[in-house]
Amino acid sequence: MSEAPPLGVFGGTFDPVHVGHLRLAEEAREALQLGRVRWIPAGQPWHRAAPQTSPAHRLAMVEAAVASNEAFEVDGREVASGRPSYTVDTLTALRAELGDALPLVLILGTDAFSLLHTWHRWRELFALAHIGLATRAGQAADAAALDPALAAELAARGGRDAQALRERPSGAIVRFDMTPLAVSATDIRARLARGERCRYLLPDEVFEYIRLNRLY
């Protein structure tokens, strides 16, 4: 049983960061009773097409987006590394820094979770962190649609009780319902390319950063 509340760990490409990400992190914090949420923008994601925007810009947009929330913090280690970022390596480094006892909760949307079995050394993730799994708009975590090995992990480790996250430092998969928000960075990039302002899909600070730096 940990004295300190669990720390949320939230990775993503954030190309750009949007209200779906912000609500995901905030609703995870509330539902899972996390002390803080650490945002970790990917440097060079290994599992998807190269982001349209540089790591430094994506990091700066996340910093601008979360500055007003005192429970959020930003960790630039993957951006600074200049190498492809593997979550297993990032969590191993966090463990070394934060100790073995603190519960870490990797926050994932359903679409990200459904690809977990394709991640580098994915089974090792369960020894490093819990998973907080949000149901994303229109995409229930349907075990039948999951890879069988991943579905087996969900069956063995899954639940809805946030208390499970405090009892051990890692290894549980706790689901929580998230307000459905069908917002995606892909859609926002397309809108920005058409000259739309995207007000209320992104924080104003992020839109202003995009405008000043002529991104997208």
Calpha distance 147→130 (Å, rounded): 19
Binding to ligand ATP (CB under 6 A) within 104-163 occurs at 108-109, 111-112, 134, 136-137
Number of Cβ within a 10 Å radius of residue 84: 14
183 interacts with ligand ATP by CB under 6 A: yes
Task: Give 133's strand partners.
Answer: 108, 175
The smaller minimum CB distance to ligand ATP, of residues 172 and 202, is found at: 202
Site string for ligand ATP, 54-83 (x = CB under 6 A): ------------------------------
The smaller minimum CB distance to ligand ATP, of residues 167 and 196, is found at: 196
Number of Cβ within a 10 Å radius of residue 157: 15
The smaller minimum CB distance to ligand ATP, of residues 111 and 208, is found at: 111
> Could you identify the residue written with the tokens 């480094």?
93
Alpha helices in the chain (DSSP H): 19-31, 55-66, 77-81, 87-98, 110-113, 125-128, 148-157, 164-167, 185-193, 204-213
Least Å distance between CB 33 and ligand ATP?
19
Per-residue burial over 94-107, b = 16 or more CB atoms within 10 Å of its CB, e = otherwise: bbeeeeeebbbbbb
Least Å distance between CB 99 and ligand ATP?
26
The correct pick among 59, 128, 185, 210 for binding ligand ATP (CB under 6 A) is: 185
The smaller minimum CB distance to ligand ATP, of residues 109 and 169, is found at: 109
Size of the site for ligand ATP (CB under 6 A): 20
Tokens of 107: 């926050």
Q: Where on the chain is the footprint of ligand ATP (CB under 6 A)?
A: 12-15, 20-21, 24, 108-109, 111-112, 134, 136-137, 178, 181, 183-186
